[in-house]
Structures are given as C-alpha cells and as structure tokens.
Amino acid sequence: MEASFTFEIKSQIQRARAGIFHTPHGDLLTPVFAPVGTQATIKAVTPAQLEELTASLVLANTYHLYLRPGDEIIAQLGGLHSFMHWDRPILTDSGGFQVFSLADSRKIDPDGVTFKSHIDGSTHRITPEKSIAIQENLGADIIMAFDECGSPYDIEKNKTALERTCTWAERCVKAKTRSDQALFGIIQGGVYPELRQQSAEFLSRLDLPGYAIGGLSVGETKAETLSILEQVDDWLPRNKPRYLMGVGSPEDLVTGVQRGVDIFDCVLPTRLARHHAAITRTRRINIANARFISEKSPIDESCTCYACRNFSSAYLRHLVLAKEILGATLLTIHNLNTLLVLMKDIRQSILDGKFEQFAAHFIEEWEGTE
C-alpha cells in the first residue's frame, strides 16, 4: 500500500487533474465530491446507502460535534469512524467558519475566538491548539487549520484575518500530535490577488499535505471566484491536493476542476433534497411542481440511482407534499448520485484526455434552475 497522504497525479489536461490521494481509510480518487454530515450523519441516508452510492469522502463539522455530543465522548467511543459507522475517509473542518458566522456572539482576538453556543448560550473558546485537539479527538483523516474567513470585499479586515490565519496555521502545525491525520492549510484573502498570493505562498512554505481555498462562495461573484482559482493554481505546489470549500453545484464542480481543484464539499445536494429539489445532469427541478402529478417517468431517465430505478416522479411529488420522510431520503440518494457520477465522469474524461470536450458539452447542456 502507498504511504498515507501521498498524492499521485494520473493525468492532467491543462489545469484539470485526475489523481489518487492515499489516506489511512482508503484511496480518494480525485477529483472527488464530499457529502456533508454536519452532525456526523449525512442527513436522511444511512451509511449503507452512501456506500451503495460509492461515496468515498464525507465531511463532519467540528463546531457542532464539539458542542454536542462533545469530542471527548466521541474519542471514548472510538472516534468518528466508529461513532458514525463510516470506515472510508472523513474530513473535519476547523470550526472557524461556523464560529465566525455567529456574528453577534463571538469575539476574536489574536490568540483565538470566544463565543456563545447556539444550543444553550454557554461560553466557549477555540484557539488553534484547541481546534487541533478537538479534531484529534474526532479522528478524521483530513483535518483543517483554524482560520479566519474575512468578508470578501473588505481589504483591511482581510489583511488582519490573513495575518491571523498565517500565525494560526503555524500554531496548528506545532500543536498536531497524530501522524495518521493530514493537516490542510486554508488560503484566505477575499477577492484581493495580492493577499491570496501572500496566503498561498506562506502556506506552501509550511509544506502541508494539502491546501484548501477558503472564503469563496460567501458573496463574491462567480467571475471573481474563477479568477481567484486560476491565480491560486499558479501559486500552490502542483503535487498536493487542492480543496475548494463549500462549493458543489454541478456547474461549479466542472468549472472548479477546470481550474485545478481536486476536492469539493457542499450541503447543496442534501439540503435541496429536503426542500423538494432534484438535481439532474442538466438542471435543477422542483418535484412538488403540479406538472408531476401523474408523471410516470422517474426524476431523471438517464439516472441509475435507487430512486430513479424504482419510483415515478408522481410518487416522489406525493411523498414530499405529504411530508413523508422517504421523500427526503429518495431525493438525497438521487442528488448525491448525480454529483458522484458527475465527478466519476469528469475523472474518466481527464484520464481519457477528453476533459475539454466533456466540460464544453456539459456547460452547453446545463440549463440551470427551473
């Protein structure tokens, strides 16, 4: 078996890469999409269903699991893999993004962040060292450096956030004790190329096993996101995986891979499923729409998921209107399948040397949201 956390690039078409990232819980075939399990569960589906969908990497949220049930409890129960019965790779975030989202109940200082729990109002403090200690208790394969995500258009705030993110990344490296976890750094800097470059170059010098591009998908335009991705691609080491945090619509996956991204995560497919929306290869549809009342065909004729193999659109519409739990489960299975199959097809097209044609065809066919 290959050493853990080495990254092999099998094929590259311009910036797009098909690779293998070796982890203690198996290989990630990249580019890869990770479903999000905020509370150590991908909402509405069982781990067995995820396995059937051939999901490989899943994400869990440090902030939520630290507050409930507590990272020490999870460690006592054998860590996240055992706790949530998932023996494939897991990634945890640093808790930073969620803590900073608690705009009114958190206070940042150069050493860390003090905040109030959204559950019971109790006061907590997370420092870079604490974030690593929590993530070591959780025991994911990929863990993230504690970072501050500035708002995209405030240059002064971004400068301060960036300074902290750099210092905090160094502190995370020093605090880390487990060798079976890969610590990724997070590039910040808003929409400012000079800050992004500074961030990418600083983190590259730390020689981490992977790099995330943070602070995107938080209010900036798509053109700005794509431009930052292209610039960051030039500043990061080529032999390490790049992770674009919180991005996962079908068109964003294709355009992200086009710009050198290897790992994605997003709540979109699972969240949409709980709001009656299905993602297909060409568009997003609302299954509650009256036009499906007696529709015999599945959500997507070309999809081979359990939901599309066995159920009509009319049945799914009935389930969601009757607020039946199975509606969310079937739509989640379908939406995850769409994204996971899309990633497999993207990977194959890179291996076959046909990614540019694939991407052009996909973008031409993509109709967007109904």
The residues assigned a catalytic role are 93, 265
Kindly determine how many residues on this chain lie close enough to bind Zn ion according to the rule CB under 5 A.
5
CA nearest neighbour of 278 among 257, 255, 303: 303
Residue 229 tokens read as 């991705």
- The answer to whether the CB of 94 falls within 8 A of the CB of 147 is yes
Site for Zn ion in 89-148 (CB under 5 A): none
Minimum CB distance to Zn ion smaller for 80 or for 308: 308
Sign, Cα dihedral of 222, 90, 115, 162: negative
State the minimum distance, in angstroms, from the CB of residue 56 to Zn ion: 19
Residue 175 in the binding site for Zn ion (CB under 5 A): no
State the minimum distance, in angstroms, from the CB of residue 307 to Zn ion: 5
φ/ψ bin of 171: left (φ > 0), alpha (ψ from -120 to 50), beta (otherwise): alpha
Calpha distance 19→262 (Å, rounded): 8
Residue 308 in the binding site for Zn ion (CB under 5 A): yes
State the minimum distance, in angstroms, from the CB of residue 365 to Zn ion: 17
Site string for Zn ion, 288-307 (x = CB under 5 A): ---------------x-x-x
* Binds Zn ion (CB under 5 A): choice among 17, 276, 334, 347: 334
Site for Zn ion in 206-265 (CB under 5 A): none
C-alpha pair distances (Å), 328 with each of 244, 252, 262, 296, 323:
26, 24, 28, 19, 9
State the minimum distance, in angstroms, from the CB of residue 93 to Zn ion: 28
Of 52-60, 203-211, 213-221, 329-337, the segment contacting Zn ion by CB under 5 A is 329-337
Minimum CB distance to Zn ion smaller for 175 or for 268: 268
**Angle (deg, nearest 10), helices 313-321 and 325-351:** 130
Residue 284 in the binding site for Zn ion (CB under 5 A): no
Residue 300 tokens read as 């997507």
Minimum CB distance to Zn ion smaller for 245 or for 287: 287
Calpha distance 276→21 (Å, rounded): 34
Contact residues toward Zn ion (CB under 5 A) are 303, 305, 307-308, 334
